[in-house]
Amino acid sequence: MSCNLPVGVFDSGVGGLTVVKEIMHQLPKEEIVYFGDTARVPYGSKSKETVTAYSRQIIKFLQTKKVKAIVIACNTASAFALETVAKEIDVPIIGVVKPGAKTASETTRNGRIGIIGTEGTIRSGLYKEFLHEMDPALLVFGRACPLFVPLVEEGWIHDSVTKEVASRYLAELQEKDIDTLVLGCTHYPLLRDIIHEVAGDKVTLVNPAYETAKTLYDLLSSKDLLAQEEAKPDHKFYVSDGAEKFCIFANSILPCDIAQTKDVNIITFD
């Protein structure tokens, strides 16, 4: 396997771009092939079987691009599919849940951690499981926030409606006296300002993207797969629908300009 092959990254839509941004920052030489399953977003309300089947198709597509590693930049797919698909492929693959749990366990001072995520991620209980492996004494409180993903996909990032929704979702977590809140869905860092306003200064927000990019660095380094090319990487973006809309959104988030996003018929990768 050559170190100058790209890294595959995928999500149900635009959320994974928050992870891409961090990878571009920490591993600027790595070329990224991104896939956003915009035709089938959201994943958060779907079953484990469906999300695993979708993840398999995307992984097959990414393998046609000869990726040297894969990052599941989606908490729901990390929670539902990572363990299963990792056994089916030779390419090294990581998710965002374990890195997010690690950061949260290192961040909390009072041992009371809130997790917000999709219905699937919260139902899976995987954050709690990892956190309790790290420290059984931690108190972990989960809250699904299903309206956040459509609000982000709609671009309502600084909207009063989004703030009202956030206030309702976070109210019960605030009663639990948490001092750390994991943004357990890759869409949520895009709502960071609003979530911070509602949660207040006493609550530290954890974005798993930082530790995920670090985990990717460690993984590539341990396998001697860190990119060596000095030339600017030629990132490529693919979606299952609405390439133009995605391209505009990506350009508003990422530190580089995405010239083009291509549509892929993902169901043919079965």
Note the residues at the interface with ligand DGL (CB under 6 A). Answer: 11-13, 15, 41-44, 74-76, 118, 121, 149, 185-187
Q: Using CA atoms, how far apart are residues 174 and 172, in angstroms rounded to an integer?
A: 5
Amino acid at residue number 81: A
DSSP symbols for 148-186 = HHHHHHTT-TT-HHHHHHHHHHHHHHHTTT-SEEEEEST
DSSP 6: P
Residue at shortest CB range from ligand DGL = 44
Q: Which residue lies nearer to ligand DGL by CB, 5 or 126?
A: 126
CA end-to-end span of the chain: 24
**Cβ 86 to ligand DGL shortest distance, Å:** 18
Please tell me the distance from the alpha carbon of residue 58 to that of residue 50, in angstroms, as a whole number: 12
Compute the least distance from the CB of residue 18 to ligand DGL, in Å. Answer: 9
Which of 76, 204 has the CB closer to ligand DGL? 76
Q: Toward ligand DGL, which CB reaches closer, 61 or 127? A: 127
CB of 28 to ligand DGL, least distance (A): 24
Which residues have CB under 8 Å from 6's CB, separation 6+?
A: 30, 31, 32, 33, 65, 66, 67, 68, 233, 236
Q: Is 74 a catalytic residue?
A: yes
Is 185 designated active site?
yes
3, 145, 185, 256: the active-site residue = 185
Please, which residue, 185 or 266, has the CB nearer to ligand DGL? 185
Residues forming the active site = 74, 185
